[in-house]
Structure 1
């Protein structure tokens, strides 16, 4: 068994990573190679900022490809449990910040597919760590960088 880090994620999250990897390998790599060719045509490479920029872009793309390949290879798909009694990975959870906060709803996913702006929070986030394993109706203290807050879980789907 490999000692590589495992990446919990939903099947949808793995598909998004696979799509990004395919785009980088089939489209972006070719674009970067073309940028390098054009930049080389400008002459002296030692003072060629376009060439330097294109090589930096190539390094970034190749690094991202390597990262995505590792994440996909070590993906652990989160099974959709039918039990909505407890907060777990893959669940959509709604809660109120107490005493009078607004309702917030997030889906708890692996760090590889977290996107808070889309309502997807990492299982490693302070909120997720605090509510994992909890039930509807429970009040939970959450330690955040901004301080402690209390939340009440109102639904799990």
Structure 2
């Protein structure tokens, strides 16, 4: 697994999800398995097969979260420098047409472009890293070429 960046908030969300999956979801699936076994012959029992599949998916997700948390570099957004754009920065941009955008640069696990949280690995994220306020940037994205001026970095 490549190096992943997590903000403090992202780390807490991952820990909460992991705890939920380990406790609540594991118990639910264990109950489904018990019910399927009690229903009779497990060799021809679709409910048992479904429960085993769900169990495998759950354990895979738990392992992914454990690995993410074990290997992630935690970014304290309170300590992020505001001179240059880095993971954890909030970047305010102005487009040529006068519209403005605000992006928070995060690791890929936390990316949610619709909410303005873009991955440092995305085309826009890559173009912004290391830049400063007042820099003019041209970004080639899947939606076409975009040009922005960085208004400020928080």
Q: TM-score w.r.t. structure 1 length?
A: 0.87
The structure richer in helix per residue is 2
Match of 1:92 among 90, 93, 98: 90
Task: State the Cα RMSD in Å.
Answer: 1.8
Correspondences of 1:3-152 after superposition (within 5 Å): 5-80=2-77, 81=79, 83-97=81-95, 99-100=96-97, 102-152=99-149
CA distance 1:102–1:48, change in 2 (3 Å): farther
Q: TM-score w.r.t. structure 2 length?
A: 0.89
Once the two structures are superposed, what CA deviation does each residue of 1:84-108 show, in whole Å capped at 9, x if it has no partner? Answer: 12111101111123x2153211111
The aligned length equals 153
Distance across 1 between alignment mates of 2:121 and 2:97: 26
Deviation at 1:42, TM superposition (A): 3.3
- Structure 1 residue ranges (4+ consecutive) displaced by more than 6 angstroms after TM superposition: none
Deviation at 1:117, TM superposition (A): 3.0
CA distance 1:46–1:101, change in 2 (3 Å): farther
Distance across 2 between alignment mates of 1:94 and 1:48: 56
Q: For structure 1, list consecutive stretches of 5 or more residues without a partner in the other structure.
A: none
Kept in 1: contact 2:80–2:86 (CA 8 A):
no
Q: For structure 2, list consecutive stretches of 5 or more residues without a partner in the other structure.
A: none
